[in-house]
Structure 1
Amino acid sequence: MLNDLSSLIAATARWLTVSYPSSGGALASALCEAQARQAVTVAAWLRYPTEIDAALVTMAGPGGADRLDWVTGAEQRGALPAEDWAWRSWVDEVVASWAAGLLTDPELAGLAVDALAAGEHPSAGPAEFRRLVDPDDGDRRAAALLRHPDLLAPVTDLHHGQLLDRLGRGRALAA
């Protein structure tokens, strides 16, 4: 059974870095991409915690970037080059929303990384996701747009409640 989330993770991270690009040269671009990929990996592993979950999304497909593009005011599908349609179909809206939430809230990112222990995905823990949970000044500068809470709010708000519920924080905030 197929259970590899790498296409979903790569496409969703690419969508985030295309939508919220780095503010510098090649190094800044690489640092921005690393942060996006770490956030998307954590979000994908939370969203699809078991091999069966991963296999199901791999078979059914994650849904694509259309709504994300609409929410962020990006160009519509007809205006995109044909070669962009394929990778964009592998973008997962919920994973992108959760990743955006993790990128803009370090405390939530730490809780999310800790929660990975309950899933079936192999993880080395917080050290594996250092750029997400403990970014240094260079990371922050490289991903200034990607970590800006106001800019990411339209994406974060789409599924923020579900992320809080998954992490057990939804009930605490409602009380």
Structure 2
Amino acid sequence: MQADLSPVIAATAQWLTHAYPASGGALASAFCEVQARQAVTVAARLRYPTAMDAALMGMAGPGGSARLDWITGADGNPATDPDVDAWRTWVDEVVASWAACLLTDPELAALAVAALADGGSTSGTPSGTPVEFRRLLAPDDRDRRAAALLRHPDLVAPVAELHHAQLVDRLGPGRSLVA
């Protein structure tokens, strides 16, 4: 099932790391990308908890990055070659917003990973163990420095606030992730 969400996860993580890049070279970029990918993976699994949800998203498409680009001011320089930015069509705004929430709120991130570990995985088996998402849940100093922009609550607030209430509702007590 993870393969069905992989284009959305890859594109949305790429969008986050483009919008909130790492500083400090190639290693910092890699640490930032891992954190973004972990947050996006959790968010995507929460957003599309069943195989049917993922299939419907695959048919309808995730929506693209246009609104996110506008909010962050990244829409000013369109590419001359549309194929260069084709990946942006696979960005899911809700997943990006939820990932931003998870990156800036450790308690919410812990709740989200716990929800996956309790059976919210789309594969039908428990997944989302804390070890799998260590850089999201327990970033060390190197991780924090690498993703300083990505984890800065004030900087990502415009994106995080878009769908924060939906995420809190999804993780609320008594909510089942799998229908």
Question: Would the TM-score normalized by the shorter structure come out above 0.5?
Answer: yes
Instruction: Indicate if the aligned counterparts of 2:63 and 2:89 stay in contact, CA closer than 8 A.
Output: yes
Cα deviations by residue, 1:88-114 (Å, 9 ceiling, x for unpaired): 000000000000000000110000000
Provide the rounded CA distance (Å) in 1 between the counterparts of 2:39 and 2:96: 9
Provide the rounded CA distance (Å) in 2 between the counterparts of 1:66 and 1:134: 32
Aligned to 1:80: 79
Aligned to 1:162: 166
Aligned to 1:128: 132
Q: CA deviation at 1:60?
A: 1.0
Residues 132 and 109 (structure 1), Cα distance of their counterparts in 2 relative to 1, 3 Å cut: same
Aligned to 1:144: 148
Instruction: Indicate if the aligned counterparts of 1:22 and 1:145 stay in contact, CA closer than 8 A.
Output: yes
Superposition map of 1:39-118 within 5 A: 39-76=39-76, 79-81=78-80, 82-116=82-116, 117-118=118-119
Q: Which has the higher helix share?
A: 1
Aligned to 1:173: none
Partner of 1:165, secondary structure, is helix
Superposition map of 1:9-48 within 5 A: 9-48=9-48
Ranges in structure 1 where 5+ consecutive residues have no aligned partner: 170-175
Provide the rounded CA distance (Å) in 2 between the counterparts of 1:47 and 1:84: 27
Instruction: Indicate if the aligned counterparts of 1:3 and 1:58 stay in contact, CA closer than 8 A.
Output: no
1:103 partner letter: L
Partner of 2:109, secondary structure, is helix
Provide the rounded CA distance (Å) in 2 between the counterparts of 1:84 and 1:168: 40
1:130 partner letter: R
Q: CA deviation at 1:2?
A: 10
2:95 partner letter: V
Q: CA deviation at 1:84?
A: 3.3
**How many residues are paired up?**
169
Instruction: Indicate if the aligned counterparts of 2:114 and 2:128 stay in contact, CA closer than 8 A.
Output: no
Ranges in structure 2 where 5+ consecutive residues have no aligned partner: 174-179
Q: CA deviation at 1:80?
A: 2.3
Partner of 1:108, secondary structure, is helix
TM-score, length-normalised on structure 1? 0.91
Partner of 1:7, secondary structure, is helix
1:150 partner letter: D
Q: CA deviation at 1:79?
A: 1.7
